[in-house]
Amino acid sequence: MQLRYSFRVYPSAGQRSALARAFGCARVVFNDALRVREEARAAGLPFVTSAELSKHLTAVKKTPERAWLGEVSAVILQQSLRDLDTAYRNFFDGLKGKRPRMGAPRLKSKRDNRQSIRFTANAAWRITPGGKLRLPKIGDLKVKWSRTLPSTPTTVTVVRDAAGRYFASFVVGTDASEVLPETTPEVGIDLGLGHFAVLSDGTKADSPRFLRRAEKRLKKTQRALSRKEKGSRNRHKARLKVARAHARVADARREFLHQLSTRIIRENQAVAVEDLAVKGLARTRLAKSVHDAGWSAFVTMLEYKAARYGRTFVKIGRFEPTSQVCSRCGVKDGPKPLNVREWTCKECGAVLDRDINAAVNIAKAAGLAVTACGAQVRPGLVPAPRSEAGTHPKRPTQPVWEQAGIPGL
């Protein structure tokens, strides 16, 4: 499979100017090609192909109005046309139902939060012996290598985010050498807001609530931005402060999701999760907390890491009654409000933790070989057999509680 490795890049002042020029040229080529296709559609002409757009680009570069397009690498201009083709393909596939619907391609702006250019292998870019990234017509960029690349990268994308940071994103291929040795545990995961993830073995991961914890600082920077005059230099500085504050929150959340997903994949042979309706939950009063949790990103990480390391990943339907079924006896006890965190099964008398019980049911619905021992908070009162009634010594009036997975004394 192909993976993407991203590293922080620190360009000099001259290299930042060269990158800004490259971003602008790629943006102009994308917008010009989009206008050509839209004008052809408005005139009732056939769809303009990629080959025709490439010829149009070659002719435009020879005109005085667009002669400055020759100041950057021709590869990034061609890749900009490929990006337009991808945008149209995703749009048409959404109309056909092959993927979630998305809007039609739109014009790019220099004020967009993300600017990027892509170099393929034929652009003659390379990593120097000194560890710098050499890009054509830009120079040698200083890269902070946080880890080694598993193989030779095929493409590199230079990205500038809203906070003004630069990143080099490499696409590399992996092989079967990264498959982890087989292990025994199989686990189901119930995602929530009180606890971010509850595993069927009883493990609970608290929700860090990164956005909630940073709200005070974010409000202060946003308030300072609102007081600056539009178009001023001070407003630009304040906007960068807001973007950097949000970037710190996003980076902390991403780091937490990566660490938790990697640990779960390494320790378990099979993982099952529930297909949550995140878009629907994001339209409720819990919208901020739902977005702060990052469930979709976490499930995506579990999916691709399972494929990478040779694990089994299963996603069950969102309409499975995981919180309504007793994981001990399988009796459906009906829906329960969110404030009910524990409930007693009317059939077997087991007192169940709502989240752990749901995690066990998720694993069972996925066909994983798990036990329901983790779902029980404490055992219910079980009557003694009739033949043994009255033969036990007198017990204390208060029952002894036992935690899940820990035998009583």
Active-site positions read 190, 274, 355
- Kindly tell me the sign of the dihedral angle through the C-alpha atoms of 82, 83, 86, 88: negative
Which amino acid is it at 117?
A: I
Q: Which backbone phi and psi does 69 adopt, to 5 degrees?
A: -65, -20
- Report CA-CA distances (Å) from 341 to 194, 195, 290, 355, 377: 10, 12, 19, 7, 11
Q: Give CA–CA dist 15/158, Å, rounded.
A: 12
Q: What's the residue count for the chain?
A: 409
Which residues, other chains included, contact 367 with Cβ-Cβ below 8 Å and sequence gap of 6+? 314
Q: Give CA–CA dist 138/201, Å, rounded.
A: 53
- Residue 247: count other Cβ atoms within 10 Å of its Cβ: 16
Q: At what angle do helices 233-267 and 215-226 cross, to 10 degrees?
A: 160
Q: Give CA–CA dist 360/337, Å, rounded.
A: 19
Helix (H, G, I), strand (E, B) or coil at 157: strand
User: How remote is the C-alpha of 126 from its chain's centroid?
Assistant: 29
User: How remote is the C-alpha of 119 from its chain's centroid?
Assistant: 24
Asked if 265 and 306 touch (Cβ cutoff 8 Å), the reply is: yes
Choose among 165, 192, 30, 21: nearest CA to 107.
Answer: 30
Strands 186-191 and 270-274: parallel
- 52 exposed, middle or buried (CB, 10 Å; 0-12, 13-18, 19+)? middle
- 43 exposed, middle or buried (CB, 10 Å; 0-12, 13-18, 19+)? exposed
Q: Which backbone phi and psi does 313 adopt, to 5 degrees?
A: -120, 130
- Kindly tell me the sign of the dihedral angle through the C-alpha atoms of 395, 400, 406, 409: negative
Please compute Rg for the chain using Cα positions. 28
